[in-house]
Amino acid sequence: MRQLRAEGFFVRGVDLKHPEFSETEAHEFIVGDLRDPVLCRSVLDGRFDEVYQLAADMGGAGYIFTAEHDADVMHNSAKINLNIADTCQRQGVGRVFYSSSACIYPAYNQEDPKNPNCAEASVYPAAPDSDYGWEKLFSERLYLAYHRNYQLNCRIARYHNIFGPEGTWTGGREKAPAAICRKVSESKDGQIEIWGDGEQTRTFLYIDECIEGTLTLTRSEHTGPFNIGSEEMVSINQLADLVMDIAGKKLTKRHVPGPLGVRGRSSDNRLIRHTLRWAPGRPLREGLEKTYRWIEAQVQRQARCGERQGVGGDDPQTTAPQVREAIPRQRNVQVATLPDPAATS
């Protein structure tokens, strides 16, 4: 929202709750449930220039690979996308961006941690390794069907592990970079826990480059889907070593059972580089340094408060006068549909 506002657009945000870590940058912020079609119609009450559909029921491996969450993950996210796609089509929005996920790629192409295949064309025969991935793939097809049948002007990106400050860092839904930053910062006994053998590989994209890629795709004439992710692949052990080096700590990695996902995953950027003349290029360490500093500050603040809140700064519910429950009529403006704060990064 910060970037959209800087470009001079009027921005409306929607989420289940107020921003958790800072004041909202939106001109209007609506607290509401996008699973409700009436709410969707009320917030998309005109011919908006752009809609960014980032909302989902999701989290890191500890959440999406826990079977007890599967029904909620599929039901909640699918309902949101059914509502947004249909409302955008009926309201004639300019463009709608949908954030899909690298989790849609077949598990059978990601068994070798050093040579995963995540090219966009490799998605079929479909075999995601989680119900979260199946819902994302369904919703890709949903938006593409609306594009074919109703000329909905959509853009689709497959995000690869987005991270950064002000993302979830505790509570069970955090992703690997945030979890490891927290563990390193909190360690008092000279060790941290790593799920599995730590040799599973991933790529991680800092939020600033994610925003850059998202806007580049949205303003292009190409529907996608396109990967938006880094090609700097590291093992989880290497990720932990990098965070420890940033923190100036030498800790022992203690390997414990835990949900792992596929053995290897890396963003294949050949298509987006060729088509949009864009691909991320900043080093992983650069984003991790900023993220670790932010998480370390949250850990220290939590220690001072004596309780685990995971909230930084002032209470946005009392310090953000631009947060509104009412929804005044607007025309020819932008709307940013935000994810549950538990799912950011």
Q: What is the DSSP string of 122-183?
A: GG-S---SSHHHHHHHHHHHHHHHHHHHH---EEEEEE--EE-TTS--SSS---HHHHHHHH
60 compared with 97, residue with greater pLDDT: 97
- Predicted TM-score (pTM) above 0.85: yes
Residue 86 within a domain: yes
Task: Please check whether residue 253 lies inside any domain of the structure.
Answer: no
What share of the chain has pLDDT > 90, as a percent? 77
**237 domain-assigned:** no
Query: Is residue 154 in a domain?
Result: yes
Average pLDDT over residues 66-88: 95
Q: Does residue 112 lie within any of the structural domains?
A: yes
Residue 304 inside a domain? The answer is: no
The H-assigned helical ranges of 45-130 are 61-64, 70-91
312-340 residue pLDDT tens:
433 333 233 343 443 333 333 445 555 44
Please tell me the total count of domains within the chain: 1
Mean model confidence pLDDT for the chain: 89
Residues of the chain above pLDDT 70, percent: 89
List residues with catalytic annotation.
Answer: 132
Provide the terminal-to-terminal Cα distance of the chain, rounded to the nearest Å.
14
Domain that holds residue 36: 2-163+205-231+262-282+313-343
Q: Is the pLDDT of residue 62 over 80?
A: yes
- Whether the per-residue pLDDT at 289 is higher than 90: the answer is yes
CATH number of the domain encompassing residue 324: 3.40.50.720
Task: Dump pLDDT digits (tens) for 231-256.
Answer: 999 999 999 999 999 999 999 999 99
In a domain, 172, yes or no: no
Q: List, in order, residues 6 or more apart from 30 with CB less than 8 Å away.
A: 12, 13, 14, 15, 43, 324, 325, 327
Is residue 255 assigned to a domain?
Answer: no
